[in-house]
Amino acid sequence: MNPEKLLSTIYLGDRACKKILIDGWNNRFCIQVSVISRIKENTDSWNYYSDEDIENGWIIFTNVSYLKIIPEGLIPNDLINYVKVKKSNEEYVFDISIDSVAESGRGKEIVIQVTAQKIYIESNETFVNNLK
């Protein structure tokens, strides 16, 4: 499934980034999300559909050729604001906005730019088993 189509089938609003993993040997960038909800087939909005929720699921970008976190130095650890994608030759350019919240409660938006060929989602169990 192409990235635009996949992203149109998931809901990430009010969901949080729990972890990020940069897998340099396999050219992967992975984001663990508190809950990834699927949008019910043949609809175009979430409508609180939860039958296919993936708790602690992973969004995995593969064949990554570029990665940048703006601004530098902050850790993405809160709400996912959006994931945007555009095609660029044989790859896709993703802009992922995630909040970073300090212990003081002050937050700042981080944008992660990823250039990759594919994207998919996995349950936490499958992800962990594939790491072994």
The string of DSSP letters for 9-47 reads TEE-TT-BEEEEEEEGGGTEEEEEEEEEEEPPTT-SS-T
Given a cut of 70, whether residue 118 has pLDDT beyond it is: yes
What residue ranges do the domains of the chain occupy? 3-131
pTM of the shown model: 0.93
Q: 3-54: per-residue pLDDT in tens?
A: 999 999 999 999 999 999 999 999 999 999 999 999 988 888 899 899 999 9
- pLDDT at site 42: 84
**Degrees, nearest 5: CA angle 84-51-48:** 60
Residue for token pair 């709400």: 79
Amino acid at 105: G
